[in-house]
C-alpha cells in the first residue's frame, strides 16, 4: 500500500504536496515557526546534532571531510547557522518556501558569505551534482516526501557524496504505523518503514541514536547516519 493510500485525509500526491506548501506559507519566518512553537528546544537540538556528527569529522578515526555540506529543508537556516557553518567551509541550503530562504540571508548573519547556494525547490525536484558533498543533513523534512520520492532523493544523495561522505537524517519516528498530520500534510514513519526505504535507496546505517532531552510530549526523534 502506498503512502498516499495509508493517509485517509489525502486525496492525491498533488493534494499531499499542495497542502504542505500552503501550511508553510502561513508560518512566520523565525525559529519558533521553524520548530512548531518549540523554539526553546533549538539549543538542545543543535547540541545533540553536533555531538552525533563530530566523531565522523573529527579525531583519528574520522573519514568525513568538512569541505561542503547541504542543509535539506533548511527553513531560515537555523541548522546551517548553528551547526553546519561552524564545522564546514561551505554550506548549501535547499528550501521550498522562498520567504524562508530570503530571511535566511539575514538570519545567518556574517557567515552568510560562506553559503554557496540557496536552492528554492522541494527535495523531490532537487538535482544534485555527483561527488559534491561531504555531509547531507536532512532534518524534520522526510515526512513531506512520499516513499517513492524519498527513495529517489536518497539515491541522488548517495551519488552526490564525496569519498567518506555521509547522509544524516534527524526526524520524528512513530512507534507503530505511519501517522499523518493533516495540519501540515506530513507523515511520521516507523523504524521498519524507514529501514526499508534506506535499504531500497542503497544506503546502509552507520550509526543511530535517539534524542533523549526533548519534551516528553514530542515524538521520538532519531538521528541516523547513512553511507553507500
Residue-wise pLDDT tens digits, 54-80: 999 999 999 999 999 999 999 999 999
Q: Is pLDDT of 10 > 90?
A: no
**Interhelix angle for 191-201 vs 147-160, to 10°?**
50
Q: What local confidence, expressed as pLDDT, does residue 11 receive?
A: 65
Q: What is the CATH number of the domain that holds 49?
A: 3.40.50.150
Name the pTM for this structure: 0.96
- Reported as a single tens digit per residue, the pLDDT across 130-139 is 999 999 999 9
Q: Which pLDDT value is given to residue 62?
A: 96
Q: What is the CA radius of gyration of the chain?
A: 16
Given a contact cutoff of 8 angstroms between Cβ atoms, the answer to whether 127 and 60 are in contact is no
**Domain housing 138:** 3-227
- Let me know the angle formed at the C-alpha of 224 by 220 and 225, rounded to the nearest 5 degrees: 165
Average pLDDT over residues 89-94: 98
Residue scoring higher pLDDT (5 or 219):
219
Q: Are 223 and 169 in contact (CB under 8 A)?
A: yes
> Mean pLDDT over all residues of the chain?
95
Any long-range contacts for 143-147 (C-beta under 8 Å, 24+ apart)?
143/171, 143/172, 143/181, 143/186, 143/187, 143/188, 143/189, 144/17, 144/20, 144/73, 144/185, 144/186, 146/2, 146/3, 146/4, 146/13, 146/16, 147/2, 147/3, 147/193, 147/197
Question: So what's the pLDDT on residue 8?
Answer: 60
Cell numbers for 180: 499523518
Beta carbons of 91 and 78 less than 8 angstroms apart: no
Q: Strand, helix or coil at 66? A: coil
**For residues 81 and 103, is the Cβ–Cβ distance under 8 A?**
no
Domain count, the chain: 1
For residue 160, pLDDT beyond 60 = yes
pLDDT band at 191 (very low <50, low <70, confident <90, very high): very high
Residue 185 burial class via C-beta count within 10 angstroms: exposed 0-12, middle 13-18, buried 19 and up:
buried
3-state DSSP assignment of residue 74: coil
Amino acid at each position: 500500500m502506498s503512502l498516499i493510500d495509508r493517509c485517509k485525509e489525502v486525496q492525491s500526491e498533488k493534494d499531499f504536496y499542495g497542502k504542505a506548501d500552503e501550511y508553510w506559507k502561513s508560518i512566520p519566518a523565525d525559529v519558533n515557526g521553524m520548530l512548531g512553537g518549540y523554539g526553546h528546544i533549538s539549543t538542545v537540538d543543535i547540541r545533540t546534532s553536533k555531538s552525533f556528527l563530530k566523531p565522523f569529522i573529527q579525531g583519528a578515526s574520522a573519514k568525513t571531510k568538512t569541505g561542503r555540506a547541504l542543509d535539506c529543508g533548511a527553513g531560515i537556516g537555523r541548522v546551517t547557522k548553528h551547526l553546519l557553518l561552524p564545522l564546514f567551509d561551505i554550506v548549501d541550503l535547499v528550501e521550498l518556501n522562498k520567504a524562508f530562504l530570503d530571511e535566511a540571508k539575514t538570519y545567518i548573519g556574517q557567515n552568510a558569505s560562506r553559503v554557496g547556494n540557496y536552492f528554492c525547490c522541494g527535495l523531490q525536484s532537487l538535482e544534485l551534482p555527483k561527488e559534491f558533498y561531504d555531509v547531507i543533513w536532512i532534518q524534520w523534512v522526510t515526512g513531506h516526501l512520499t516513499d517513492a520520492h524519498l527513495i529517489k532523493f536518497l539515491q541522488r544523495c548517495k551519488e552526490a557524496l564525496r569519498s567518506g561522505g555521509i547522509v544524516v537524517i534527524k526526524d520524528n519516528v512513530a512507534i507503530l504505523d505511519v501517522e499523518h498530520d493533516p495540519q501540515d500534510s506530513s507523515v511520521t514513519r516507523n523504524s521498519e518503514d524507514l529501514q526499508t526505504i534506506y535499504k531500497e535507496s542503497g544506503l546502509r546505517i552507520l550509526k543511530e541514536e535517539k534524542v533523549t532531552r526533548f519534551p516528553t510530549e514530542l515524538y521520538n526523534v532519531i538521528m541516523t547516519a547513512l553511507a553507500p
